[in-house]
Amino acid sequence: MPLDRHLLEGLLTTMIRIRRFDERVTELFKAGHVKGTAHSYVGEEAVATGACANLRRDDYIVGTHRGHGHCIAKGASINEMMAELYGKESGYCKGLGGSMHIADMDLNILGCNGVVGAGLPIASGAGLSSKLRKSDQVTICFFGDGASSQGTFHEALNLASVWRLPVVFVCENNQYALSTSYKRTVSVDAVADRGVAYGIPGITVDGNDVIAVYEAVREAVARARRGEGPSLVEGKTYRWMGHSMRAELAPYRSKQEEEEWIQRDPIAHLERDMLDQQLISPERLAQIRQEVEQELEEAVKFAEQSREPAIEVMERALYAPRLPVSAPPPKRGHELTFTEALNEALKQEMRRDPRVFVMGEDVGLVGGIFRVTQGLYDEFGPERTRDTPISESTFVGCGLGAAVTGMRPVVEIQIWDFVACAMDQIVNQIAKFRYMLGGKPTVPLVIRGPQGGGIRMAAQHSQSLESWFIHIPGLTVIAPSTPYDAKGLLIAAIRDDNPVIFLEHKLLYQPVMKEPVPEEPYALPIGKADIKRDGTDVTIVATQMMVHRALRAAEKLADEGVNVEIIDPRTLYPLDEETIVNSIKKTNRLVIVHEAVKRGGVGAELCATVVEKAFGYLDAPPLRVGARDVPMPYNDILERATIPGEEEIIQAVREVLA
């Protein structure tokens, strides 16, 4: 189909802008002005240009580590991009993201990504958000041929196909994953051939022909807007430069191969066609190049004159402000179990806010294997109570994409041990998203699920992994121990604008563990501990199921004349250090009890905090009580021997009093 002069000139200008930006960045890197590293897009300009020319301003893109071209093609500011590469505060991410993480939420550029294949789940989440909001926005997800060997590629295509998401997956097949030819790592001739496995169209085009890319993506975008689901478009292209500006690798491509691809220069190809067809004059072509050079000079000047970011800029970027919480209501109302309290919190928040939805394995019709989501499907339907494929990495990453594009997802991990499958998305994407984008977006995402032992599910279904998450800046970690706390803290987590890890101990789901819970919605303050029992002789800080065992131990110790104070942190990060320190100032002794193994656990962090802030008040060294240093056994006698019980707690208290 013939394209008009105006469109062709726009395509050509964008490609020249991308080419010259990266050529200039290479010069600046060699001169020491651009630090770290950057990945050149020279030679691949036709893919991003042709693809993004089909998008509206409100459409989304997700880029890769080689993302300068993606951002420029979507309309990003050259000035702010250059300032980011210089690490300056005026950069897109205030100098916190750098070359691989440039984003512009105003243009719906959802960030480039330094982890291969990690953007595919995020793009699926943006597509899901569009679907849930009944918008016709489309997401383009760029990825390289190397990413097509990642599990997230297959998981994301499957999920997008099952849910008919408006996502166009664009593979930039530049022939090499770092130094390895795709012919040695991909089992099909074309990555696009893999689309058929997921029931979606797959098309391969000449990635150096901007018109071919434009037309292929135009049809895919139109299909997505019509609600017909995702497409896979592969552009076969070539990067002229090495993998990155820092990676000085031995030669892995022949000079002949490089020269053959350079002869297929996408810019020169379009220039020749336009000149031959008299769609542009040599004078206008020279003018475009001159204007681009002027833009670049201004961008470099802007970056050089911008100020360095202060430490305060960095620290403010990590967490969004916490919402104010009114005084907690008294513990009154109907009697609920822990499970019922969580269920009531979910239902009330989903009624209150249409942006809240739940997804995870088996959360729909059956209500989850622990019945926390029971009844949600009947009331809110399959759109807002979404059963996912068994692909934790992708549906967790999908939660991120949905959260940063207007929704408030609650993602259930069926058994918490399976969270290991999603750690890249949690640690490298979710926890860092706001920070790497300079503190601009919010990430209102809750990831919840059952952890811990006690029900004979053995080593791969019984771990207590909270210490993994308190170590990661950007995450909030909540671990309630009672139905009252569970409801109030889950509501607070859903309303919070930060990613929350919400841990539920399996034994707390027992139907016999009931207490009065207010019927109305309420939020408890995040980062505020609760004193479960007042005392004067010893402070016990206990978490989750161990709170109940500590309370029973305290009753027995009372018979010996020992008055124990028990504190439940409720939030493991941020930690209410003030309440714990004030208790130690009163009791002068500390025992910490958690189910996880002691090594590298929450107890170790608490001990360090107390030694730093209340050492002078201690009359004895703090003691930790935790699980034996072994994986959880299946045998019930051995399981009970592994998990701390009342007697271990009592013995620890006696020891600190000795």
Residue pair 490/345 in contact (Cβ under 8 Å)? The answer is: yes
Strand order in the sheet with 530-533: 530-533, 564-568, 538-542, 590-597, 623-627
How far is the CA of 247 from the CAs of 39, 98, 178, in angstroms? 10, 17, 9
Q: How far does Cα 335 stand from its chain's mean position?
A: 36
- Residue 366 to residue 276: CA distance in whole angstroms: 65
Which strand (E) or helix (H) includes residue 361? none
Pairing of strands 530-533, 500-505: unpaired
H helices then E strands: how many in the chain? 23, 21
User: What residue type is assigned to position 633 of the chain?
Assistant: P
328: phi then psi, degrees, rounded to nearest 5: -60, 140
| Cα 585 to chain centroid, rounded | 39
- CB neighbours of 305 closer than 8 A, spacing ≥ 6? none
Q: Find, among 411, 367, 371, the residue nearest to 393 by Cα.
A: 411
What is d(CA 497, CA 503) in angstroms, rounded to the nearest whole number?
A: 18
Residue bearing tokens 């609650």 = 410
Residues known to be catalytic: 392, 461
Pairing of strands 176-177, 180-181: antiparallel
**Residue 93 burial (C-beta neighbours within 10 Å; 0-12, 13-18, 19+):** buried
Q: Which residue, chain included where needed, has tokens 């190049």?
A: 289
C-alpha to C-alpha distance for 26 and 13, rounded to whole angstroms? 20
DSSP symbols for 166-190: -EEEEEEE-SEETTEEGGGT-SSS-
